[in-house]
Structure 1
């Protein structure tokens, strides 16, 4: 793992802003991070235990046979509307599913450059109708909208929508700066569907400061091998009633400041510094966040721990995340998959599920068929269909193929829903359910 010089300081500050602005301003609100427990590091030795078998390998999916959610848009990362207890909820009998989207004539490799959040509604959780864009045009911050979460307070009739504001509005050239943003709006439902209106002015609620969480400036100074400060996931701890925002980040500092404790690891491993962060919502006020040290780090192991989320089951905390094949450090390997960790407490003590952390993986013959798995409270798992039947081709080669090839092998829709079982520190794949099904 990394020898973290400044990473475990007791006084750490993440910049907060409750103003809907796109530039940091001197004097904005800030909070001090708390070290409740030292972060747990996912180790290379644990990753080396990964083995694919019937308990963790999902069935083959023929991407070409999947039904498109809508012919007009690609969709990928998705999340349902939940209530304030974290359960999937309904609005006047309608379920709501939010997705990242881009027009269907855009090449798959370009969708993240223009991503917008759209939403779908369904009476039965199987057949989905497009509702439209979540936010009015030009309201959101950043040059595009990346993944987040959405919670509805039924007593207020309000939706709390969290998302990643990527880049800066109006930027001439696309950047990959990422900040956590939110807005609150009214929820209106009738026999025709669900609508969202009267949005508050959008605000940036969290930015990294370079201590526990790497800043964009640090990533750029490092020669930019990767950067993450995204995927705000609202979470309520049902044991305490406290609310939190989980997010994906990278351990702070410059590459020149890092070393791996094990001197035998291959050169370049110090560039891999993914982590999972957490901030407490103080008294339900999202402009007042108490930022904590990371729940988990993958220093010298993995560079992206995406879409982190927690399920509380049997008085244990199950922390899940997604990662790609090509995000592992030199000398270790892991599949495109859903990974998980378990602890008796929210802060500290996380151990990898199944010894290695692997919960679900794509089949070896179709290693990129699905991604962005999200475990729901009933242990159903949703994801989107990514790329299929590449016949051994690396995913990085797809962008060099002609558009016809790219569209032919791209899913851009919901994948079959899965179900897992959990027993202590073990999980198993149970069954496959209809595409995009949410009970």
Structure 2
């Protein structure tokens, strides 16, 4: 949609700078002329003039200038009445004083003109210009959330406006018209496609837990791009990163020893505390591993002495489900706990790829019988291996495999995976997992028109809507996006769990994202914290994640929510749910993903964050396999915010204690990549990340300059101080007082005489006085004429 005379941010800043400069020149000229005139009168008339009285408030109206801010002069409205009111409130540029009859606006809007308004003059807008500004519609490319006029707060309740009744002369429903008015859109300039889209809008609260909105997604991307150190993942030193010795092992599919990639991993945890379990003096971790660049995804059991921080001390007990496994059935991420008899209960994702490699995902469980033999942890047998959700989702709360397959076009991501076991205060166990919403709040193109999916104010909602309908790929993504974090209650016993009931998702992102994975629930104090990992390129806002790829080189994040209840009521941490953001490109050796938060003894507000180096399929070079990354700490503050702490461990440290912290793996921007990685070149499509050539910005958030954007008004020139009266000579007639440089009149007992030399006689004017008077009058007239000419030129 085209707009009239679009006023760019750069042009706006330049215009504002010119206005302030011209104003400063006018004001200095006026002050100078005023001072000269007063000085001449004082000099010639001998009147009592104090330096303190030389102020603009005493200047004649014709010489006084009042600064006019164009943002305050006219409030841009979309209704005819508002435009008429603006005309009445417009003040002539040559008036003695300016009345500000408009509503007060905030400090940000006072220095900025509406993004798509027509250019406003340097003083006060004329009624015609005001009308042009009010009738400018939002561009479909405008995805920013800058202040609109009139200002409307985020998340205004539009549920009371009809979607069937139309507003006369607009062609819009009451809901569409209200949104258009709040967004400052000129309805007459809307295209037929935009009108049709607006009239499809409706308001419906999500029935699937906390909704991640389109605005949340945009804010998450903005946080990633800004590289705020509060959230940015710390730099690791690339030169010290090692492949795991334990990853060189017998492959589950081929039976041959190979160097395997290590991906999603999780510790065997205590069900009550969430701490890493001390299993007979060992710490245990389950890891998904496989041969690089092959369809090889299976689970292995790794172990180390409890509390050992050394990466290369980890050992591999082998493939959990044996060897000679085929590529059709695979095992993906999950969780594990210690049963009361010392066995390990594993929850994982069973994946059937037999249907044209379509990844039919099902939650599953198995019991691992372990033993210690000759100082080694040995996997003796696996029992109770069972798929818990054979149809995938149940269909209502969570999308089933059959539902997904019936509409699959290649753009839709399916999810029923990554089960995380957690127990409430009553001992009831649940699985929290990644899923897709079912018919309770299903995916389809109608979700694009649900106002509640957007968040933000009217301008953000409509500009985002226009972006989506104008971009075929974004429209398709928005249609199929329905990622959710689900929850089911478990029944049965600890070794043979069953699904007791499906429950409403904890979080959903219909229309916004199609992948929020690896959920992890941690209880700290009396609150539950829910974390998950995501790649923004699985979202529908292409502009957001493509900008992240361009600026940073990756789009991975960790998200988080908090609730007083395990099963409902989750609110986003840090307002948007962002907790961690990528800080290096995806093809660097130190890029990470699959973040997993682990609580530890001695702290109720700090978590250890583990991850793997995302060099899957050799994106950082052949031989640089995926491996465990160094762990680090985040702190959760009482106000629902989080921050990354300057605390780091060796690679593969799952337990934070007094021996964990090290500087060995700490890096910086220069040391976080291997030689040749920072050349700004991304060849091909490494890892499927769709990266573009990039030169990442230095991840330091610039400080906000203290200098105001608008130049300060020059201060009134200081009037020279009044010299002190010379002391009387001790011997009258012998010492001559020094004549003061400024002839200041000094009273003497109220007798009308002075003790200092008097001013020149007023009976006759000397030649020098005439010259001074002429000069002062000429200066005054010149300044006034120059100013009046300037005003005529601009009017």
Instruction: Calculate the TM-score normalised by the size of structure 1.
Output: 0.79
Give the corresponding residue for 1:157.
342
Alignment partner for residue 340 of structure 1, among 560, 566, 582?
Answer: 560
Check if 1:429 corresponds to 2:644: yes
Asked whether 1:39 is paired with 2:209, we answer: yes
Cα deviation code 1:383-439 (max 9, x no counterpart): 000049xxxxxxxxxx8xxx7x66448541001111111113111111222111111
Q: Deviation of residue 166 (structure 1)?
A: 0.6
Q: Secondary structure at the match of 2:574?
A: helix
Candidates 213, 219, 228, aligned match of 1:49: 219
Q: Map 1:198-347 onto structure 2 (within 5 A).
A: 198-206=381-389, 207-220=392-405, 221-225=407-411, 226-237=413-424, 239-253=425-439, 255-256=443-444, 258-260=446-448, 261-262=450-451, 264=462, 265=465, 266=468, 267-268=475-476, 269-282=478-491, 284=493, 286-330=497-541, 331-333=543-545, 335-347=555-567
CA-CA distance at 1:246 after TM superposition: 0.9
Encode CA deviations 1:336-395: one digit per residue, 9 max, x unaligned: 11110111112322111111111111205558710001001221111000049xxxxxxx
1:309, distance to aligned residue in structure 2 (A): 1.1
Aligned residues: 380
- Counterpart in 1 of 2:267? 80
CA distance in 2, matches of 1:301, 1:410: 34
Change (3 A) 1:39 1:141: farther
Pair 1:217–1:302, CA change in 2 (3 A): same
The 3-state SS of whatever aligns with 1:48 is helix
Task: Answer whether contact 1:317 1:344 (CA < 8 A) is retained.
Answer: yes
CA distance in 1, matches of 2:208, 2:379: 41
SS in structure 1 of the partner of residue 216 of structure 2? helix
**CA-CA distance at 1:248 after TM superposition:** 0.4
Per the alignment, in what secondary structure is the counterpart of residue 270 of structure 1? helix
Match of 2:288 among 96, 100, 108: 100
Partner of 1:27: none
The 8 Å contact of residues 365 and 385 in structure 2, kept in 1 or not, is answered as yes
* Distance in 2 separating the partners of 1:63 and 1:298: 35
**In structure 2, C-alpha distance between the alignment counterparts of 1:141 and 1:162, rounded to whole Å:** 20
For residue 287 of structure 1, give the secondary structure of its aligned residue in structure 2: strand
1:152-191 alignment to 2 at 5 Å? 152-153=338-339, 155-167=340-352, 171=354, 173-191=356-374
Q: 2:613 aligns with which of 370, 375, 385?
A: 385
The equivalent residue for 2:315 is: 129
Structure 1 segments of 4 or more deviating over 6 A? 138-142
Question: Structure 2 CA distance, aligned partners of 1:358 and 1:233?
Answer: 20
- Mapped to 1, the partners of 2:511 and 2:580 lie a distance apart of 22
Q: Once the two structures are superposed, what CA deviation does each residue of 1:213-241 show, in whole Å capped at 9, x if it has no partner? A: 1122322323142111100111122x332
Q: Give 1:355's aligned residue.
A: 575
Deviations 1:277-314 (A, max 9, x none): 11112364612422211011011111111011111112
Q: Offset at 1:151?
A: 1.1
2:596–2:609 Cα contact (<8 Å) kept: yes
* Per-residue CA distance 1:50-80 (angstroms, 9 max, x = gap): 3231111112335564111134211110001
Native 8 Å contact 1:280 1:291 kept in 2: yes
Q: Secondary structure of 2:402's match? A: helix
268-277 vs 37-46, greater mean Cα deviation: 37-46
**Counterpart of 2:497 in 1: which secondary structure?**
coil
CA contact (8 A) 2:443 2:482 kept: no
- Report the Cα offset of residue 211 of structure 1: 1.7
Asked if 1 retains the 8 angstrom alpha-carbon contact of 2:488 and 2:499, the reply is no
- Determine which of 367, 379, 385 is the counterpart of 1:196: 379
Greater relative CO (CA pairs within 8 A, separation 6+): 1
Q: Given the alignment, which residue of 577, 584, 592 partners 1:370?
A: 592
Change in Cα spacing, 1:94 to 1:214, as seen in structure 2 (3 Å) is same
SS at match of 1:360: strand
More helix by share: 2
CA apart distance, 1:139: 8.6
SS at 1:384 equivalent: strand
Indicate the SS of the match to 1:163.
Answer: strand
CA distance in 2, matches of 1:212, 1:189: 43
* Alignment correspondent of 1:413: 627
Q: Which has the higher strand share?
A: 1
1:274 to partner: Cα distance: 0.4
DSSP-derived class of the 1:58 partner: coil
What displacement does 1:152 show? Answer: 1.1
Q: How does 1:4-23 map to 2 (within 5 A)?
A: none
| Structure 1: gaps spanning 5 or more residues | 2-36, 389-398
Q: Cα gap change, 1:295/1:198 in structure 2, threshold over 3 Å: closer, same or farther?
A: same
Look up the SS of the partner of 1:198 in the other structure: strand
Q: Which runs of 5+ in 2 are unaligned?
A: 1-154, 156-206, 249-258, 452-460, 469-474, 549-554, 601-606, 656-795
